[in-house]
Amino acid sequence: MATPTPGADFTRIIFLHHSTGANLIEQGDVRQRLTDLGYEFYDHGYNDDGLVLADGTPAGRDFDVPDDNTDPDGLADIFAQPLRDPPDNTFSHLMQYDVIAFKSCYPVSNIESDDQLAEYESYYLSIRDRMDQYPNQIFIVVTPPPEIPADTNPQAAARARAFSNWLASDEHLGGHPNVSTFNLFDLLADPSTNMLRADYQADEYDAHPNELANRTIGPLFADFIDQSARTYTGR
């Protein structure tokens, strides 16, 4: 079982995301909330956007995310990269931080078959195997946000719900104390449809959660990161 080195510092956070994550940070005031709690919060979106520093300014460099792919297969490829110092690949850059949060975006929630669902789970099991090797890092899996009705169907949406539930389950997390899951999908989805709640939609053709969603969920995300660090370190 992973245990942190006594006295290990868990104050530097990195969040790997795309546009939904960027909106959550900005409209949900995530950076300021974590700063107020004593953390340094960095984030990385698309490679063209690159790394954003803890003070909210662009770093002018990126982590060279292969093909800008943060779907489950892309994340698995990142976590399969060798760890090098100085860092020369995405995984090595991420591992410069104490708390590593990462998510796929809403297209992943259009899961077209049970085989695709099983494939997604297998990618995350390979990621979990790698995370187990680094007890001095905390890893936060952020579930993909739900799709809008225009871009999915009830069967695919139900599989997306099953995927997010699995990522947050004891089956996935049990015995892996440095891994936790922020169930963004569950917070955003209408439980009757497993699609983005109507009051969280910008419009019927835009799957990005709106400002109300981000203002509501941003504080929950910041608090979850803080609680994950406190739980793992016992502070």
Q: What is the pLDDT of residues 89-114, one digit of tens each?
A: 999 999 999 999 999 999 999 999 99
Series of mean pLDDT values for 10-residue runs along the chain (235 residues): 62 96 97 97 97 98 97 98 97 97 96 98 98 96 97 98 98 96 98 98 94 98 96 83
User: Within a domain: residue 232?
Assistant: no
Return the amino acid letter for 40.
E
| Residue 235, pLDDT score | 67
User: Within a domain: residue 230?
Assistant: no
User: Within a domain: residue 5?
Assistant: no
User: Within a domain: residue 24?
Assistant: yes
Count the domains in the chain.
1
Q: Roughly what angle, to the nearest 10 degrees, separates helices 72-79 and 114-131?
A: 20
Return the amino acid letter for 210.
N
User: Within a domain: residue 140?
Assistant: yes
> What's the pTM?
0.95
| Residue 2, pLDDT score | 60
Instruction: Look at the block and give the residue holding tokens 């079982």.
Output: 1
Using DSSP, state whether 44 is helix, strand or coil.
strand
Domain holding 51, by residue range, is 12-108+116-220
Are 112 and 75 a contacting pair, CB within 8 Å? Answer: no
How far is C-alpha 110 from the geometric centre of its chain's CA atoms?
Answer: 17
CATH number, domain with residue 77: 3.40.50.1110
User: Within a domain: residue 231?
Assistant: no
Closest-CA residue to 231 (of 35, 15, 4): 4
Q: Residue 190 contacts by C-beta under 8 Å, 6 or more apart in sequence?
A: 196, 197, 198
Other C-beta atoms closer than 10 Å to the C-beta of 17 total 22
| Residue 79, pLDDT score | 98
| Residue 9, pLDDT score | 73
User: Within a domain: residue 6?
Assistant: no
Q: Roughly what angle, to the nearest 10 degrees, separates helices 211-233 and 19-27?
A: 90
> Of all helices (H) and strands (E), which one includes residue 158?
helix 154-167
How far is C-alpha 115 from the geometric centre of its chain's CA atoms?
Answer: 23
